Amino acid sequence: MSLIDAHIVSGPTLRAESFDGVRRRRAIALCLDLVLVSILAAVIWCALAILTFGLSIVLLPPIFPLVAFFYNGLTISGWRMATPGMRAMDLEMRMQDTGGRVPFINAAAQALFFYLSWMLPAVFLVTLVDREKRFLHDILAQVVVIRRL
């Protein structure tokens, strides 16, 4: 790795090739993860509705955001450092400054920022000017998504 490449990368262990094709792969991974989260949320919603004889149906609408929050937090902070959709696309998430494993709080915060950013879609354009192809929710959570090489 040349001196110029070392200056481009984020953190001590990440190479410039780690960012090739990340946006396209993330879009596909997002679709896969949304399907999985929807299935999990539907199963939990049905189970709780049956277990409470329908009395909890009024309280169940926030099931999807809760499932998405814990799904992202637990899978990314796990030993594989990726959601199932990200693993299918050969992606992983790391801390921006160290390149190490992402703690649960950063992974869950990244998911929260992601879902909040849907209220103002223009913030997704940040990735077009960031050299590491990070979105605003990645920058706020201090994480970077790279390809597994």
Per-residue CA distances from 40 to 5, 73, 122, 134 (Å): 42, 15, 29, 27
Render pLDDT for 82-131 as a digit per residue (tens, 0 to 9). Answer: 999 999 999 999 998 888 899 999 999 999 999 888 888 888 888 888 87
This prediction has a pTM of 0.80
Contact 91, 81 (CB under 8 A): no
Render pLDDT for 7-66 as a digit per residue (tens, 0 to 9). Answer: 344 444 556 677 778 889 999 999 999 999 999 999 999 999 999 888 888 877 889 889
State both tokens at 10: 């984020």
